[in-house]
Amino acid sequence: MTARDGAPAYIIAARRSPVAPRGGALAHLQADELAAPVLQRLLLDAGLSPTSVDHVILGNALYAGGNPARLAALRAGLPAAVPAMTIDTQCCSGLDAITLGVRMIEAGAADCILAGGAESFSRSPIRMHRPAARDAEPAPYARPAFAPPPFDDPDLTDAAARLARDRAVPATAQAEFAVASHAKALAAKSRHADRLVECVPGVREDDFTRPLTLKTALRAPVLAGSDGCDLTAATIACEADAAAAVLLVSERSWKRSGRSGLKVAAARSAGGEPSDPALAPIGVASSLFADLGKTAADFDIVELMEAYAVQAMVTIEELGFDTDAVNRHGGALARGHPIGASGAVLMVQLFEQLARTSGNAEETGRRQGLALIAAAGGLGSGMAVEAVICDRKREVAR
C-alpha cells in the first residue's frame, strides 16, 4: 500500500480549472471539454511532449457510462495510441484515479501518466430506468443505489444530518466552519490568480467563493436535520463543474526532469459502513498513519473534503488534526463539489502549497501533506505526499 512496496511515483505538475456552481460560468462545457485544457497545461508545465504519456486516467461520477477520459485525451491532442480509462467511485473518483496511476508506476507498467477527475453537473445526463414492460414509461431517478439490501443506503444529506444529530454538532458551529472556509479561500484567491486553467476565456477564479458572514450563513435555507443541528445551504457544498489533474512520473523520469514536486509516500482506499459514509476517511487516515509510522501531527498541510461541514468537523476531531493545518486555502464549502473531480482538486491544492514555490519548504517548514475524501456507499480514499527538490543530481527531502 506504500511507495516502499515498489518504485515510488512523483507528481511534477498539477493543475485545475476554476470551480463553478452548477449552471454557472462553465455550464456549457462537457466533462471532457473541462479536462482537455487541464491536460494540455500539465504537459506544457513539465515541458513534455504528448508522446511521452503512457496512460490517461480520469474519475467521473455522473455520466453513467462512456469514457470521458478518452474524449479528453483526444481533445487535448494526445496521440490516438495513448490509452485512457474513466473510473467511477463517486466522490473518491478523482483521487482514486491518481492512486491507480501511482500503482501503475510503482509496478513498472508506466513511466508517465495524466490522472485526475472531471465533472460537469451542468451537462450530466438525465437519468432514467428503462421500463421492464414495453408499454411502461421510463422512470427517472436522481441517483443510483450505492448499497444493496439489506444494507442501509441513505441519502447522503440525510446521513450527514444524522451525523450532526448523533454527534450534537450545532448548526451555529457548522455555519462558523463554513464562514471560515470562505474566508480562507478569499485570502488565497490572489495566489491562484495565474494558476487556474482557463476553460472559458475570462473565467480565472472560483466564482462561488464570497465574503460569507455568520449572520448570512445562519439565514441560509435549512435542507436537512433538526433539533438545532440543521444542515443548510451554507453548510453543504454546492453542486459544481470542474476538472483537475496531476502529472505522475517514475523516479527515473522525475530525476531527469530536474523539477521539484511531490513524492507519493502512501495511498489507500477502504470501505466502511454504507450507512455512515462520512466516517470512511477516518479509517483510511488511521491506516495511512500506521503504514508510514506517523500521526496526525506529522502532517503540515491536510486537504480534507468538505462535502458537509459536519463531515469535515467530525473527521478533524476524530483524527486530532490541528485545525490550522486543514484546508489552509479554504475547502469545498467555499468552492463547490464537482463530485468526480473533487479528490483531484485536493491534490492540486496540496501541490500548490507544498511544491509550487521554490524554497517554500525552507520558508515555511511544510513538507508533509495528506488528502482525504469520502464517497457514497461508505468509501474513503487518502494519499500522503512529501515535498521534494530535484537538482538532477540528488534528491533532497524538503
> Would you call 63 helix, strand, or coil by DSSP?
coil
> Would you call 7 helix, strand, or coil by DSSP?
coil
Give the Cα separation of 146 and 128 in Å (integer).
16
pLDDT of residue 393: 43
Please state the pTM of the whole predicted model. 0.94
Give the Cα separation of 371 and 341 in Å (integer).
13
Give the Cα separation of 137 and 354 in Å (integer).
53
381 to 163, 244, 249, 311: CA distances (angstroms): 20, 17, 21, 14
Give the Cα separation of 332 and 336 in Å (integer).
5
Percent of the chain residues past pLDDT 70, beyond the cut:
94
Q: Does domain 3-126+237-397 have CATH number 3.40.50.300?
A: no
pLDDT of residue 365: 64
The length of the chain, given as a count of residues? 398
Q: Which residues are catalytic?
A: 91, 337
**pLDDT one-digit tens code per residue, 298-343:** 999 999 999 999 999 999 999 999 999 999 999 999 999 999 999 9
Residue 9: which of 263, 183, 279, 232 has the closest Cα?
263
Give the Cα separation of 311 and 305 in Å (integer).
9
Residue 112: which of 59, 39, 60, 61 has the closest Cα?
39
How high is the mean pLDDT of the chain? 92
pLDDT of residue 101: 98
pLDDT of residue 391: 61
**pLDDT one-digit tens code per residue, 78-118:** 999 999 999 999 999 999 999 999 999 999 999 999 999 99
Q: Which residues of the chain have pLDDT under 70?
A: 1-6, 193, 357-365, 391-398
